[in-house]
């Protein structure tokens, strides 16, 4: 399975993603947080999408997303750096 690491903004992902992947360690308590994910059928296969992102009181934003695209046997993991 191919794995591709990319850095992208959470705003782009919010429209497409649906279930949380898991907890992420943060340095400060979050002010705002978003997470989601799910599974959809595409290309004859079940494909999973998940994300989590948060901003702390100091304005630091962290997050991650993962796309498991089984119809092309590929997983993409993204580090998120914005929460809009």
Q: Where are the domains of the chain?
A: 2-80
Q: Name the pairing type of β-strands 30-42 and 2-8.
A: unpaired
What rounded mean pLDDT belongs to the chain?
75
pLDDT-derived band at 21, boundaries 50, 70, 90:
very low
pLDDT band at 28 (very low <50, low <70, confident <90, very high): low
Q: What is the pLDDT of residue 43?
A: 87
- CA distance linking residue 44 with residue 49, whole number of Å: 16
- Average the pLDDT over 59-77 and give the result: 95
Cβ burial, residue 74 (10 Å; 0-12/13-18/19+): middle
Q: Model pTM?
A: 0.60
Which of 29 and 33 is assigned the larger pLDDT? Answer: 33
């Amino acid at each position: 399975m191919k794995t591709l690491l990319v850095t992208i903004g959470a705003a782009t992902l919010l429209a497409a993603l649906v279930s949380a992947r898991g907890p992420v360690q943060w340095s400060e308590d979050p002010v705002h947080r978003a997470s989601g994910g799910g599974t959809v059928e595409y290309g004859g296969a079940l494909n999973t999408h998940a994300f989590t992102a948060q901003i702390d009181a100091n304005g630091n934003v962290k997050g991650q997303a993962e796309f498991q695209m089984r119809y092309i046997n590929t997983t993409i993991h993204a580090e998120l750096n914005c929460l809009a």
